[in-house]
Amino acid sequence: MAATHCPIVRPVSEPWDLTDEQSEIRELARRFSDEVIAPAAPAWDREHRFPAEVFDQLAELGLLGINVPEEHGGAGAGFVAYTLVLEELSRGDAGVGTTLAVHIGAGTMPILAHGDPGQIARLVPPLARGEELAAFALTEPGSGSDASAMRSRHADGRLTGTKQWITNGSHAGTFVVFAREGGDGDGDARDRVSAFVLRAGAPGFEVTREEEKLGQHSSSTADLAFEDSPAERLGAPGAGMRIALSTLDGGRIGIAAQATGIAQAALDVASAYAKERVAWGRPIGALGPIQEKLANMQTEIEAARALTLRAARLKEAGRPHTIEGAQAKLFASGVAQRQTGEAIQVLGGYGYTKEFPVERYFRDAKVTEIYEGTSEIQRLVIARALLGDAARA
């Protein structure tokens, strides 16, 4: 049975309270995912190729600035629409979703939120129009979950240091970079972390390595180095960790949407296969164990989608969403990891081969439990909100 025998299956239910605009945007992203992204995704995965041409097409559709206000070159459709787009594009290929999420959520939005009027006018419109991509450079070899342990330095308008695992690193034109100012660089109490904007091609800036990864082969993950590279401050001095953490609050909602899209893709293939694969004279979908797996998959995916949209609506309304974003990411990433594995189980031996895409979904899903805050960090965020001072005793 060839992979082409499995037609796309639409979700059993749709969010009932989307606006007409949000529904239209979701349908646009869905068609593009089905017609352009999904057919090419297996080749991108095999070739470890970044599909630059796809982002040119997404730019033409206005999706690279979907939630950026119109006066700054975007579509002005809001954060919920952005979340819907991320889910649909990630259903076609998770790497495309990652590139978009970092470009908009982690790269463009902090400039829009914390830049001065001149920075916003100069930097945001080209990003919103998709003329270039953005990146977010926080992690270093010695500072992952403990981001405040970074050693990159900024002095006299110049950056020196290294960054690791930077999405879009080999292709971005604008980088939001975090570094220390003051002190001796060894965690001195006088140190303060600030945010900066650095442009690709700046003197002393170099992409030192493109990472080889388990999955998401169509996205760029690079290591960066700076040596007296000119950079301009973003936001107030010492506000870097506040900017980083607020950016991650929104970014986690995007990762939850991505994870939901990956899980939905796995369900699409597994349920179609269960209708067509015949064993003991009937479709395997007639077997109780298969029905149980598919029912659990569909229910968990709907729950992940609901948590994600709840957090997205809170953010769009300007309300606190740190806990809700952490809950959405924690749950949706777990769903993606579990249910892509269940899809492989439904397909049996075929699921373990590259004839069907579920093995790719399984590989792509794992990192959603790691980047933009591991699942362990999300549990800490949730528990500390629940327990207050008792969690820090």
390 pLDDT band (50/70/90 cuts)? confident
Q: Which residues pair with 195 in a beta bridge?
A: 178, 234
Say what the pLDDT of residue 188 is.
Answer: 52
This prediction has a pTM of: 0.92
Last residue of a domain, one of 96, 116, 133: 133
Determine, yes or no, domain membership for 3: no
C-beta neighbour count of 21 within 10 angstroms: 14
Q: Is the per-residue pLDDT at 391 higher than 90?
A: no
CB-CB contact of 275 with 101 (8 Å): no
Determine, yes or no, domain membership for 2: no
Mean pLDDT of 235-259: 95
Determine, yes or no, domain membership for 21: yes
> Do residues 279 and 365 share a domain?
yes
Domain count of the fold of the chain = 3
Say what the pLDDT of residue 369 is.
Answer: 97
Say what the pLDDT of residue 11 is.
Answer: 47
Residue 8: exposed, middle, or buried by beta-carbon count in 10 A (0-12, 13-18, 19+)?
middle
145 pLDDT band (50/70/90 cuts)? confident
Mean pLDDT of 359-386: 95
Determine, yes or no, domain membership for 257: yes
Say what the pLDDT of residue 144 is.
Answer: 74
Last residue of a domain, one of 216, 239, 262: 239
CB-CB contact of 65 with 75 (8 Å): yes
Residue 175: exposed, middle, or buried by beta-carbon count in 10 A (0-12, 13-18, 19+)?
buried
> Do residues 224 and 169 share a domain?
yes
142 pLDDT band (50/70/90 cuts)? confident
6 pLDDT band (50/70/90 cuts)? very low
> Do residues 24 and 120 share a domain?
yes
C-beta neighbour count of 49 within 10 angstroms: 13
Last residue of a domain, one of 239, 264, 281: 239
Determine, yes or no, domain membership for 221: yes
d(CA 207, CA 166): 10
H-state helical runs in the chain: 20-32, 38-47, 52-60, 79-92, 94-101, 109-114, 117-128, 240-276, 288-316, 322-347, 358-366, 375-387
Determine, yes or no, domain membership for 260: yes
> Do residues 218 and 349 share a domain?
no
> Do residues 256 and 210 share a domain?
no
Task: Please report, for the domain that includes residue 381, its CATH number.
Answer: 1.20.140.10
Q: Token pair of 281, please?
A: 């004279």
Q: Is the per-residue pLDDT at 184 higher than 60?
A: no
Query: Which residue in this structure is represented by tokens 């002095």?
Result: 155
Q: Is the per-residue pLDDT at 191 higher than 90?
A: no
Mean pLDDT of 165-194: 81
Q: Is the per-residue pLDDT at 179 higher than 90?
A: yes
Interval 332-356: pLDDT, tens: 999 999 999 999 999 999 999 999 9
> Do residues 165 and 290 share a domain?
no
pLDDT higher for 188 or 195?
195
Say what the pLDDT of residue 17 is.
Answer: 84
d(CA 5, CA 337): 25
d(CA 331, CA 318): 23
Question: Mutual orientation of helices 322-347 and 358-366 as an angle, nearest 10°?
Answer: 150
> Do residues 78 and 196 share a domain?
no
233 pLDDT band (50/70/90 cuts)? very high
> Do residues 246 and 367 share a domain?
yes
d(CA 189, CA 70): 42
Over pLDDT 90: what percentage of the chain?
89
How high is the mean pLDDT of the chain? Answer: 93
> Do residues 307 and 280 share a domain?
yes
Task: Please report, for the domain that includes residue 199, its CATH number.
Answer: 2.40.110.10
Determine, yes or no, domain membership for 351: yes
Say what the pLDDT of residue 3 is.
Answer: 46
Q: Is the per-residue pLDDT at 4 higher than 50?
A: no
> Do residues 279 and 303 share a domain?
yes
Say what the pLDDT of residue 190 is.
Answer: 42
Q: Token pair of 379, please?
A: 């549990």
Say what the pLDDT of residue 5 is.
Answer: 39
Mean pLDDT of 228-235: 96
Q: Is the per-residue pLDDT at 79 higher than 90?
A: yes
Task: Please report, for the domain that includes residue 121, its CATH number.
Answer: 1.10.540.10
CB-CB contact of 331 with 304 (8 Å): yes
Distance, CA of 327 to chain centre: 16
CB-CB contact of 202 with 172 (8 Å): no
Q: Which residues are catalytic?
A: 372
CB-CB contact of 209 with 85 (8 Å): no
* Structural domain for 139, as ranges: 134-239
Among residues 213, 210, 252, the alpha carbon closest in space to that of 105 is found at: 252
**What is the enclosing helix (H) or strand (E) of 192?**
strand 192-199
Interval 62-78: pLDDT, tens: 999 999 999 999 999 99
189 pLDDT band (50/70/90 cuts)? very low
Determine, yes or no, domain membership for 1: no
Question: DSSP assignment, residue 180?
Answer: E
> Do residues 273 and 381 share a domain?
yes
Q: Is the per-residue pLDDT at 14 higher than 70?
A: no
Q: Is the per-residue pLDDT at 51 higher than 50?
A: yes
> Do residues 164 and 282 share a domain?
no
